[in-house]
Amino acid sequence: MHELAIVQDLFKLCETNAMKHNATKINKVEIEIGRLSGVEAHYLQSAFDAFKADTICSDAKLIIHPKDITIKCNECGAQSVLLENEFLCPKCGSNSLDVISGEDMYLMRLEME
Ligand SMILES: [Zn+2]
């Protein structure tokens, strides 16, 4: 049900943006999902398609881009992108890391009419 709450937020966000731009229709929604957000792109896509009918996104296509996890090492200060779910600094091997991005969902782009 996590995904359902997210698409409903997403629809709201789309409506707000459309109103700002005097758009009546949204054709494409592009979002980024952090690999650490716990959101399943597949479920999010289904939820979007299942509930878009009564929203401004009724004809919109959802494009999901997975976002890599960027960390900053507390030991050596290096910023790196983690490609695997291994929480070690690639530079020095420390596991004292701060996640800089990859935890959230971001709206990247809307195509409106
Ligand atoms: Zn390090």
The residue extents of the domains of the chain are 2-112
Distance 80 CA to ligand 1 centre (A): 9
Residues 79-97, mean pLDDT to the nearest whole number: 89
Pairing relationship of beta strands 26-34 and 105-112 according to DSSP bridges? antiparallel
Judge whether 19 and 112 are in contact, CB under 8 Å: no
Q: What is the pLDDT of residues 14-42, one digit of tens each?
A: 999 999 999 999 999 999 999 888 888 99
Q: What is the pLDDT of residues 56-65, one digit of tens each?
A: 999 999 999 9
21 assigned binding-site residue: no
Collapse the DSSP code of 16 into the 3-class scheme (helix H, G, I; strand E, B; otherwise coil) and give the result. helix
14 assigned binding-site residue: no
Distance 65 CA to ligand 1 centre (A): 27
Distance 112 CA to ligand 1 centre (A): 43
Q: What is the pLDDT of residues 12-21, one digit of tens each?
A: 999 999 999 9
Distance 97 CA to ligand 1 centre (A): 8
Residue type, 32: E
Q: What is the CATH number of domain 2-112?
A: 3.30.2320.80
